[in-house]
């Protein structure tokens, strides 16, 4: 280093001042009995992050500071720093090297940058040597040349360099987005949402946004890509796809034929008939039809394919002409009666009943009751007193009071001259002169009627009527009056009642929605309607 003219002057001035000091008072004088020219008492120590130098302050007036000098070969010194303190840390070092240090006083009275200030090289400053320097920046016992983590922050130098943090600064570390103690480059779930970065990228959600997660269709806490039942219907995605239902629609599930809560592909008895699918397929019945089962004709607990007497008539199958019919096996005595007609094998001589005692068993007798009417034409083939039931009411004509079921008793039809076995031929109303008898209801009506009455007048008229020795006459209800209409008629007066006029007749039934109105039957139009009680209509009374 070549000092400037001003610095040189200051240096010369300082040297001149030091020379004027008595050697007893000049700490830099080698003849000084205390310092022997080395007032610094330099101490050099190997620290983790460099070489630490400390020394004693020089007791001279106006000392500006100190220059630190270092030599790598012990001969040639280079100024490596300046300080106004009495310590210095040399960090610009290399592991395994040896260094020699010395301290020098910076020129007295210098007011500029210490790094530019000249220093005094006089004196016999003792040298201090550090041999085979060991550099361990983070103090972990590993030399920096061998340490993969120089700053001891837990992240390798290579990773820090790759992630953009400083490998020699413990406070500088890679990012940790979710603050879970794992640096992002080491963290397989950077945003801490429980889904790996790889899965999020594959599912289209953001691996660095905790609020962005893959879909969870059924809200069961399992993301769809991890959920083997995405729609939460209890059927795995694989099974739904295989069965043709939608694995993402809870309402779309595989079929359950017998509604037993087991899907058909899981149900070993799909039709719920108590027989397994495999068993039915093996024996030729349909496992999807509940009524199609492997038969056990005689319900003896043995399936027919394994039963020596299928119909249970005590005749082995090989000797049974009808092995599937319990009432048929053979007719050894040729009496038209099968020995199994009773459901079980019987003796030949008593192989069945004979109702009409004609020598033919009933099972083979074409006229069981012997009434000369073949069973095929006999409504009661086992009742010799009955063979007809015209109205099919289960009561034979011999005892049925209304054979044709037309509502008119047989005795009345005979009296009227109509056919009691023809329901389309009967006399509904019997004209008795002053009265008309209704053959279907048993009611008796006035033959004549009166016109032009209000409703109250009509009520009073019927209540006060005495006719034919009877005083229990009344104005008919709507339903009773409707019974006089003939729905099959297409012209006025729409009734089979003798001498019925084309008039509107009062009933006793009020109109429920308006107490001022009452129902009536219009035989002009063949209809039922309501009108004001103050109207004027015809009246015909009735009695039971």
| pLDDT of amino acid 426 | 66
pLDDT for the residue numbered 276 = 96
For position 271, what pLDDT does the model report?
A: 94
pLDDT at residue 110 in the model: 63
Whether residue 105 is contained in a domain is answered as yes
Q: Is residue 511 part of a domain?
A: yes
In a domain, 58, yes or no: yes
Residue at 39 is within a domain: yes
CA nearest to 69, candidates 113, 116, 119, 110: 119
CB 454 within 8 A of CB 535: yes
Structural domain including 440 reads 429-543
Q: What's residue 36's pLDDT?
A: 76
pLDDT for the residue 23: 57
Of residues 302, 283, 285, the one with CA closest to residue 293: 285
CATH of the domain at 93: 2.60.40.10
Secondary element (H or E) of residue 87: strand 87-90
| Per-residue pLDDT at 22 | 58
Given 67, 100, 130, the domain boundary residue is: 130
Residue 178 lies in a domain: no
Rg (CA), the chain: 64
Domain end residue (candidates: 79, 103, 130): 130
Domain boundary among 97, 115, 130: 130
In the three-class reduction of DSSP (H, G, I as helix; E, B as strand; rest coil), residue 199 is classed as: helix
The per-residue pLDDT for 12 is 39
pLDDT in the model for residue 405: 78
Domains contained in the chain, number:
2
Separation of alpha carbons 456 and 533, rounded Å: 7
Give the CATH number, domain containing residue 469: 3.10.100.10
Residue 329 falls inside a structural domain? no
One digit per residue, the tens of pLDDT, for the chain of length 544 reads: 334 333 333 343 444 444 445 556 777 777 777 777 678 889 999 887 789 999 999 888 778 889 999 999 988 999 999 999 999 999 998 888 899 999 988 866 666 677 777 877 554 456 778 887 777 878 888 888 888 998 888 899 999 999 999 998 889 999 999 999 899 999 999 999 999 999 999 999 999 999 999 999 999 989 999 999 999 999 999 999 999 999 999 999 999 999 998 999 999 999 999 999 999 999 999 999 999 999 999 999 999 999 999 989 889 999 888 999 888 888 787 777 787 877 777 777 667 778 888 777 787 788 988 999 999 999 999 999 999 988 888 998 899 998 877 778 888 878 777 788 877 666 788 888 899 999 888 899 999 999 999 999 999 999 999 988 899 999 999 999 999 998 777 889 999 898 999 999 999 999 999 999 999 999 999 999 999 999 999 999 999 9
pLDDT of residue 198: 93
Of 502, 506, 512, the residue nearest 533 (C-alpha): 506
d(CA 461, CA 471): 11
Cα angle 331, 332, 337; round to 5: 30
pTM: 0.36
Residue with structure tokens 């599930």?
A: 253
Are 332 and 339 in contact by the 8 Å Cβ rule? The answer is yes
What span, in angstroms and rounded, lies between the C-alpha atoms of 373 and 37? 163
478 phi, psi to nearest 5 deg: -60, -45
The answer to whether residue 116 is domain-embedded is: yes
Look at residue 336 and tell me if it is in a domain: no
Task: For residue 32, give the nearest of 120, 124, 130 by alpha carbon.
Answer: 124
Q: What is the pLDDT of residue 480?
A: 96
Cβ neighbours of residue 453 closer than 8 Å, sequence gap 6 or more: 461, 506, 536, 537, 538, 539
What is the enclosing helix (H) or strand (E) of 100? strand 99-105
């Amino acid at each position: 280093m070549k000092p400037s003219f001003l610095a040189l002057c200051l240096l010369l001035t300082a040297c001149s001042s030091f020379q004027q000091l008595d050697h007893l008072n000049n700490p830099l004088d080698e003849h000084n009995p205390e310092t022997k020219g080395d007032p610094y008492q330099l101490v050099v120590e190997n620290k983790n992050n460099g070489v630490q130098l400390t020394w004693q302050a020089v007791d001279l007036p106006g000392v500006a500071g100190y220059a630190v000098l270092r030599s790598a070969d012990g001969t040639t010194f280079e100024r490596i720093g300046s300080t106004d303190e009495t310590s210095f840390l040399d960090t610009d070092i290399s592991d395994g090297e040896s260094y020699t240090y010395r301290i020098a006083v910076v020129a007295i009275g210098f007011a500029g940058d210490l790094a530019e200030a000249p220093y005094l090289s006089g004196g016999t400053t003792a040298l201090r040597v550090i041999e085979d320097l060991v550099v361990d920046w983070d103090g972990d016992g590993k030399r920096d040349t061998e340490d993969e983590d120089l700053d001891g922050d837990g992240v390798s130098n290579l990773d820090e360099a790759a992630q953009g943090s400083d490998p020699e600064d413990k406070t500088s570390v890679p990012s940790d987005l979710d603050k879970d103690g794992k640096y992002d480059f080491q963290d397989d779930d950077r945003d801490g949402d429980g889904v790996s970065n790889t899965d999020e990228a594959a599912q289209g959600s953001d691996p660095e946004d905790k609020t962005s997660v893959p879909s969870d269709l059924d809200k069961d806490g399992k993301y769809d890509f991890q959920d083997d039942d995405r729609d939460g219907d209890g059927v795995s995605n694989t099974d739904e796809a295989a069965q043709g239902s939608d694995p993402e629609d809870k309402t779309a599930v595989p079929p359950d034929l017998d509604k037993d809560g087991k899907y058909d592909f899981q149900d070993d008895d799909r039709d719920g008939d108590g027989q397994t699918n495999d068993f039915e397929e093996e024996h030729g019945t349909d496992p999807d039809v509940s009524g199609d089962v492997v038969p056990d004709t005689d319900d003896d607990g043995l399936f027919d394919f394994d039963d020596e007497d299928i119909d249970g008539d005590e005749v082995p199958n090989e000797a049974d002409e009808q092995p599937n019919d319990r009432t048929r096996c053979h007719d050894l005595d040729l009496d038209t009666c099968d020995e199994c007609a009773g459901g079980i094998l019987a003796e030949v001589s008593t192989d069945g009943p004979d109702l009409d005692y004609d020598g033919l068993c009933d099972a083979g007798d074409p006229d069981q009751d012997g009434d000369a009417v073949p069973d095929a034409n006999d409504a009661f083939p086992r009742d010799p007193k009955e063979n007809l039931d015209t109205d099919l009411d289960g009561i034979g004509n011999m005892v049925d009071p209304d054979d044709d079921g037309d509502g008119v008793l047989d005795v009345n039809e005979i009296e009227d001259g109509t056919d009691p076995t023809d329901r389309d031929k009967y006399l509904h109303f019997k004209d008795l002169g002053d009265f008309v008898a209704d053959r279907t209801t048993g009611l008796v009506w006035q033959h004549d009627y009166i016109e032009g009455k209000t409703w109250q007048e009509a009520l009073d008229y019927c209540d006060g009527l005495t006719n034919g020795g009877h005083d229990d006459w009344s104005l008919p209800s709507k339903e009773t009056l409707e019974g006089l209409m003939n729905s099959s008629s297409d012209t006025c007066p729409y009734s089979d009642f003798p001498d019925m006029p084309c008039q509107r007749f009062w009933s006793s039934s009020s109109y429920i929605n308006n107490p001022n109105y009452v129902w009536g039957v219009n035989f002009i139009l063949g209809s039922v309607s309501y009108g004001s009680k103050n109207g004027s209509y015809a009246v015909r009374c009735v009695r039971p």
